[in-house]
Structure 1
Amino acid sequence: MATLLHLDSSAFHEPSVSREVTAAFRRTWESSHPDGTVIYRDLAKDPLPHLDADGIASAFAPADSHTPGQATAAALRAELADELERADAILIGTPMYNFTIPSTLKAWLDQVIIVGRTAGEGGSVAGKPVTVVAARGGGYGPGTPRESFEFVTTYLEKVLTGMLSLDVEFIVPELTLAKTQPQMAELIPAAEASRAEAVQTATQKAKALAERFAA
């Protein structure tokens, strides 16, 4: 049966639009693969260490020459790479924090991108489908005043395709702060419509992927 790797990175659990949408995706996926496997990491609840000198050096040194620190760092990177390689599909939930992704998600990316294994020419995860739910509090779409401030989808598209050669699709619920920011009150209907559309799209994408891997 198929395996889904599911990552959430929002610091909030309730309310969290990115978590709500990834949950809808996962429910649909699991209903189609009741005997399948879901590998789940809550990067906010259980953050990974940032990539350090030991982690970097361990990738360029033979295992039998590793220091204790390098061995520990290499073991973590190998564990994360194994999870990514085992997955048939990947689901990532991320909010926008200060115009970009949470540092917890960046830590996962830095740990799992291993040139010569998962990344680079002939990487072990090339072509895997990844669905990114990228929620943001305001409007950053094409033609909006803050279009140029958007570094979530622009960054993730480059790193996920350029480094890992993954097949990336985005679901982008917007205006998620409308209910809590008085100055955005008039945007609440648009925010609700964006959230509902994101949930529907996530459900449809999960169903299509599930059918693909059931074939």
Structure 2
Amino acid sequence: MSLFRLDTSIRTEGSVSREVTDTLEKAYLEQHPGGTVIRRDLGTQPLPADLWATAAFAGYTPEDQRSEAQKTAVATAKELVDELLRADSIVVGAPLYNFGVSQHLKTWIDVVITDPRFAAGVENPLAGRPVAIVVARGGGYGAGTPREGWDHGIGWLSRIFADVWGGAVTVVEAELTLADTVEAMAALRPLAAEVREKAHQQAAATGKEFAQSAA
């Protein structure tokens, strides 16, 4: 049994997406102590920004004519897909940055798609595999808020992991994560604490479910 954990927050201390993903991982391992966690941290070890373009063009170049950079890019894409497919379940920490996904996460997804196993036309490479997307948002983006509809990250991620790759997606959401540090949001701190606690509860339940489904 194995869980693939992808972290993308640029923060290592105080990151709510990491905190909630920790809870999911802990619940997963408590259910199956012998389980393995495959980790990739794009926040601390980002992929090169030009990796996707290099890997993409390598796909149109005969193998014996590829440059060293193209060979490296293709090998990296293979490594990313190998570790993704090795896992029974997947969890992605995806904080909202500038109303969308981080550059690091976008690059990872683009590079994965250059591998033939995830290329356009390949149906459901994840084939119902459980996927949790843990999103952390500094403000409030729910129905009726001034920024309702401004989260352009979670919809796209759900499209990729569920509709394109065929995973069974669960979204775990934490909002108002900046309330503790932004004085203008002080009145929202009780609500922020409640939302974060619910996110941890959902993450724990999801980790347990993932372990049970893998078993």
* TM-score (normalizing by structure 2): 0.93
Query: Quick check: 55-64 or 44-53, which moved more?
Result: 55-64
Deviation string, structure 1 residues 100-154 (Cα, Å, up to 9, x no partner): 1111111111111236412433343232211011000111012222112111211
| Counterpart AA for 1:198 | A
**Superposed counterparts of 1:188-207, under 5 Å:** 188-207=189-208
Percent identity of equivalent pairs: 43
Deviation at 1:188, TM superposition (A): 0.2
Structure 1 unmatched ranges of 5 or more: none
Aligned to 1:64: 64
Deviation at 1:211, TM superposition (A): 1.0
Aligned to 2:214: 213
Aligned to 1:96: 96
Aligned to 1:11: 10
1-side partners of 2:162 and 2:136: how far apart? Answer: 20
**Superposed counterparts of 1:1-215, under 5 Å:** 2-50=1-49, 51-114=51-114, 116-119=116-119, 120-214=121-215
For the 8 Å contact 1:113–1:163, the answer to whether it is kept is: no
Query: Quick check: 32-41 or 196-205, which moved more?
Result: 32-41
For the 8 Å contact 2:128–2:168, the answer to whether it is kept is: yes
* TM-score (normalizing by structure 1): 0.93
Deviation string, structure 1 residues 4-29 (Cα, Å, up to 9, x no partner): 11011111122111111000000111
Please give the secondary structure, in 2, of the residue aligned with 1:90: strand
Structure 2 unmatched ranges of 5 or more: none
Deviation at 1:55, TM superposition (A): 0.8
Query: Quick check: 106-115 or 74-83, which moved more?
Result: 106-115
| Counterpart AA for 1:105 | L
RMSD between aligned residues: 1.6
1-side partners of 2:4 and 2:62: how far apart? Answer: 29
Deviation string, structure 1 residues 172-198 (Cα, Å, up to 9, x no partner): 100000011111000000000010000
Classify 1:13/1:53 alpha carbon distance in 2 versus 1 (closer, same or farther; 3 Å): closer
Please give the secondary structure, in 2, of the residue aligned with 1:117: helix
Deviation at 1:158, TM superposition (A): 1.7
